[in-house]
Amino acid sequence: MAIDTKAIKEHIRGILIALGDDPDREGLKDTPDRVARMYNEVFEGMNYTNEQIAQMFGKTFEDEMDFESDSKDVVVVKDIQLFSYCEHHIALMYDMTATVAYVPNGKVIGLSKIARIADMVSKRLQLQERIGSDIAQIMQMVTDSEDVGVLIQGCHSCMTARGIRQTNAKTTTTTLRGRFRTDADLQQRLYQA
């Protein structure tokens, strides 16, 4: 479903009024339009399903290497920088990094596409846990490999800048699929990347 830019503008104007400010004053007159443009950018991933993201970034290379079914030839991309917005407060998740690991199953995905997938699913109203499961699901679709692990660390401004105001609190989430669930070696490859 496409983002409704016109409705966002109207509602942001309404919020400015509800806050007791004058939406027509010089500093605010372009704010509804600016916010609508920002939302189109930071929520771009809401325009697409996971299946569509898998198609967009699903370019793979049939590899000439021998892949054995019990292979532990892991590909790990770490320090993928992400921003997202928590769905409870529409508050920024920041200082967020993801590590994505998978065991290739006959083909490999272009490395930049792993970061593109992580970036696009983050551009939604999210939970940190769901960012991990969305990345894992799309990686499975694209690579035909069941074996995917995702590690994410991030700060939630709803917890640092308001509420309990734990400015140093950082959350770590792991998403383990396929053999990453049970194989301690594979888990170490993810955690110690």
Ligand X SMILES: Nc1nc2c(ncn2[C@@H]2O[C@H](COP(=O)(O)OP(=O)(O)OP(=O)(O)O)[C@@H](O)[C@H]2O)c(=O)[nH]1
> For the CA atoms of the chain, what is the radius of gyration?
20
Residue 139 interacting with Zn ion (CB under 5 A): no
Residue 163 interacting with ligand X (CB under 6 A): yes
Among residues 86, 126, 137, 140, the one annotated as catalytic is 86
Residue 86 among the catalytic residues: yes
CB atoms within 10 A of CB 62: 7
How many angstroms separate the most distant Cα atoms in the chain? 66
User: In this chain, which of 8, 77, 86, 109 binds ligand X, going by CB under 6 A?
Assistant: 86
Residue 88 among the catalytic residues: yes
Residue 156 among the catalytic residues: yes
Polymer length of the chain: 193
Instruction: For residue 117, give the nearest of 93, 94, 95, 100 by alpha carbon.
Output: 100
Among residues 137, 140, 156, 187, the one annotated as catalytic is 156
Interface mask (CB under 6 A) for ligand X, residues 106-125, using x and -?
Answer: --------------------
Residue 151 interacting with Zn ion (CB under 5 A): no
Q: Which is nearer to ligand X, 59 or 88 (CB)?
A: 88
CB atoms within 10 A of CB 152: 25
Residue 128 interacting with ligand X (CB under 6 A): yes
Binder of residue 161, out of ligand X, Zn ion, none (CB less than 5 to 8 A by kind) = none
Give the interface size with ligand X as a residue count (CB under 6 A).
10
Q: 155 labelled as ligand-binding?
A: no
User: In this chain, which of 77, 82, 86, 136 binds Zn ion, going by CB under 5 A?
Assistant: 86
Residue 11 among the catalytic residues: no
Binding residues for Zn(2+), by number, are: 86, 89, 158
Q: Which residues are catalytic?
A: 86-89, 128, 156, 158
* Site of interaction with ligand X (CB under 6 A): 86, 88, 127-129, 156, 158-159, 163-164
